[in-house]
Amino acid sequence: MDDTITIVDYNPDWVILFEKERILLKTIFEDFIDIQHIGSTSIYGLEAKPIIDIMLGVSERTLVDKKQINMLELNGYKYRGEAGIPNRQFFRKGMPRTHHLHVVKYKSDFWLEHLLFRNYLRAFPKVAEEYGRLKKRLVLKYSDDRGKYTKGKGPFINEVLEKAEMWMKERGDVTVQ
């Protein structure tokens, strides 16, 4: 099973692939609050792993039930539990991976941070370019080690989140959309 990390140029089809999956997810999660395209494939022009990251926001109740897990598995998803992140239910699709689904509480810290990071990179293309360069450097070193690759992005992501929070406050915008 090849799970090597690759970074590819931006592909405008990623938006279409997200929308197709969004339609499917709406039929499985009838009580969802919101579905968002997150991660690098959601940022125009940014190089990315060719994996569509989808964040599905649900209410306080149990994040996913057995029926939803079964429906997702029938549609090619593999259930991974929390996969190291509390209060998130994680699913992946495809091998090699094509989609990641993160089911989280709507407006949780996970929800808000991912949207804030995405929106900041969309608003500041130069920062997105810098992030793309970092990812290319990291994949040269850690293409076979997803953990080290992800850890290597951590300081940059944290720095961007700090700037993004100030940016959001300066705009007088206390919500992330």
| Cβ proximity of 49 and 9 under 8 Å | no
Q: Tell me, what's the pLDDT at 30?
A: 87
For 19-46, what is each residue's pLDDT tens digit?
A: 999 999 999 998 899 999 999 999 999 9
- Asked if the structure places residue 8 within a domain, the reply is no
Cα–Cα separations (whole angstroms), residue 25 to 44, 61, 66: 23, 18, 15
Length of the chain: 177
Q: Is residue 87 part of a domain?
A: yes
* CA angle centred on 80, ends 90 and 100, rounded to 5°: 40
- Give mean pLDDT, residues 134-143: 96
pLDDT bucket at 175, cuts 50 / 70 / 90: low
Angle between helix 13-28 and helix 66-74 axes, rounded to 10 deg = 140
Residue 94 located in a structural domain: yes
pLDDT tens track for 78-123: 999 999 999 999 999 998 899 999 999 999 999 999 999 999 999 9
> Does any domain span residue 47?
yes
Average pLDDT in the 157-170 region? 95
The reported pLDDT for the residue numbered 1 is 45
The structural domain count of the chain equals: 1
Question: Pick the residue with more confidence: 52 or 97?
Answer: 52
Question: 153 or 62, which is more confident?
Answer: 153
* Model confidence band, residue 63 (pLDDT cutoffs 50, 70, 90): confident
CATH number at residue 60: 3.30.460.10
User: Which domain, by its residues, includes 30?
Assistant: 13-170
DSSP classification of residue 8 = B
Residue 37 lies in a domain: yes
For residue 6, is it within any domain?
no
As a whole number, the mean pLDDT across the chain is 93
The verdict on residue 4 lying in a domain is no
pLDDT of residue 103: 97
